[in-house]
């Protein structure tokens, strides 16, 4: 019965993508999707909560902790959207992204989030862009595909193994031996990888991507980064100011970069407004 229910939830997640034009072989911008469904989206500074879904019977709202890594925030947002679209009541979620849950509603919301953010076609498309399959890709390539999809490195590995069945347990073990911090240090050793700063390894196959980053994040692959929004580092660019820009990536690709204040707290629609300059 649970398997049948999960299959139906996966179908609904794919339908939610397609309703607003997010193809099944590319990333889904879950923040924009939430806005299209008419839900309020807020970032909070409550450290003990991953997310919160509220519904007064007329309007729904989703709250996400500003104090989590980017991929975790995206997954939480998708999880809370799942509660809304699956007709669940209000939910307070202290810890999301567990592969198992004792609550059927929590399990279904997790299933919804996985298939919304990581449908099989999108996962395979990402690895195909690197000339690889999930079974023979290395940790750095998993990190690149996870970043492109907007999810965490470990989240993609677990999903590829346990949900999609595209790798075996031995491959899962080998991939989890390398941590995201180790991958970041190897790719950009000139940066001090402390805190929650993210590495965004942009490339030509990211063309058209909508990337949500924050001040302090590190970006590679940019052609002539905007000096109004980035400092130039050794083989990278470091985000320094809030704003929304279109940027060119090596490989003749264009991406949309949405840069927020570090640990931004507030409504989503104001997240990328440039801060006023003092007179």
Token code pair at residue 92: 């307070």
Provide the pLDDT confidence category of residue 274 given band limits of 50, 70 and 90.
Answer: confident
Nearest residue to 263 via CA among 20, 47, 102, 4: 47
- Right CATH number for 2-117 from 3.40.50.150, 3.90.1150.10, 3.90.550.10, 1.10.10.2910? 1.10.10.2910
Q: State the pLDDT at residue 254.
A: 98
Provide the pLDDT confidence category of residue 2 given band limits of 50, 70 and 90.
Answer: confident
Concatenate the DSSP letters of all residues of 79-100 into one string: HHHHHHHTT---EEESS---S-
Q: State the pLDDT at residue 101.
A: 60
* Terminal-residue alpha carbon distance, the chain: 64
Q: pLDDT by residue (tens digit) across 87-127?
A: 998 877 766 655 456 689 999 999 999 999 999 999 999 99
CB contact burial 68-98 (16+ within 10 A = b; e otherwise): bebbbbbbbbbbbbbbbbbebeebebeebbe
Q: pLDDT by residue (tens digit) across 220-263?
A: 999 999 999 999 999 999 999 999 999 999 999 999 999 999 99
Q: pLDDT by residue (tens digit) across 36-70?
A: 999 999 999 988 999 999 987 667 899 999 999 99
Concatenate the DSSP letters of all residues of 225-278 into one string: --TTTEEE-SSSEEE-S-EEEEEEETTTEEEEEEEEPTT--EEGGGTTPPPPPP
Work out the mean pLDDT of the chain and round it to a whole number. 94
Report the half-sphere exposure of 170 (CA within 13 A, side-chain side): 2
Nearest 10 degrees: Cα torsion 69, 70, 74, 79: 0
The CA distance from 64 to 72, in Å, is 10
Nearest residue to 239 via CA among 264, 213, 265: 213
Question: Own/partner pairs for 44-49, CB < 8 Å, 24+ apart?
Answer: 44/265, 45/263, 45/265, 48/94, 49/92, 49/93, 49/94
Helices (H) and strands (E) in the chain, counts: 9, 12
Helix (H) or strand (E) run with residue 181 in it? helix 180-187
Q: State the pLDDT at residue 98.
A: 53
The radius of gyration of the chain from alpha carbons, rounded to an integer in Å, stands at: 18
Nearest residue to 188 via CA among 226, 143, 158, 126: 143
Does residue 217 have a pLDDT over 60? yes
Token code pair at residue 218: 């590190």
Q: What phi, psi does 118 have (nearest 5°)? A: -135, 55
State how far Cα 108 lies from the chain centre: 19
């Amino acid at each position: 019965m649970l398997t049948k229910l999960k299959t139906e939830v996966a179908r609904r997640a794919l339908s939610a993508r397609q309703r607003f034009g997010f193809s099944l072989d590319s990333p889904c911008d879950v923040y924009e999707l939430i806005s299209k469904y008419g839900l309020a989206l807020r970032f909070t500074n409550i450290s003990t909560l991953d997310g919160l879904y509220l519904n007064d019977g007329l309007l729904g709202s989703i709250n996400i902790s500003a104090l989590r890594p980017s991929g975790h925030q995206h997954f939480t947002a998708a999880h809370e959207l799942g509660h809304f679209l699956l007709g669940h009541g209000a939910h307070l979620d202290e810890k999301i992204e567990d592969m198992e849950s004792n609550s059927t509603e929590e399990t279904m919301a997790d299933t919804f989030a996985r298939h919304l953010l990581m449908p099989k076609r999108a996962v395979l498309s990402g690895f195909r862009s690197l000339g690889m399959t999930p079974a023979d890709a290395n940790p750095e390539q998993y990190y690149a595909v996870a970043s492109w999809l907007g999810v965490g490195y470990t989240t993609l590995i677990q999903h590829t193994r346990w949900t999609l069945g595209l790798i075996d347990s031995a491959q899962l073990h080998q991939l989890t031996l390398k941590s995201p911090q180790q991958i970041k240090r190897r790719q950009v050793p000139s940066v001090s990888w402390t805190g929650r700063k993210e590495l965004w390894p942009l490339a030509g196959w990211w063309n058209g991507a909508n990337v949500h980053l924050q001040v302090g994040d590190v970006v590679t692959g940019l052609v002539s980064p905007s000096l109004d929004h980035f400092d130039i580092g050794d083989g990278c660019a470091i985000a320094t100011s809030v704003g929304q820009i279109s940027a060119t990536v090596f490989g003749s690709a264009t991406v949309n970069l949405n840069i927020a204040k570090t640990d931004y707290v507030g409504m989503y629609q104001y997240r990328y407004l440039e801060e006023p300059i003092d007179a």
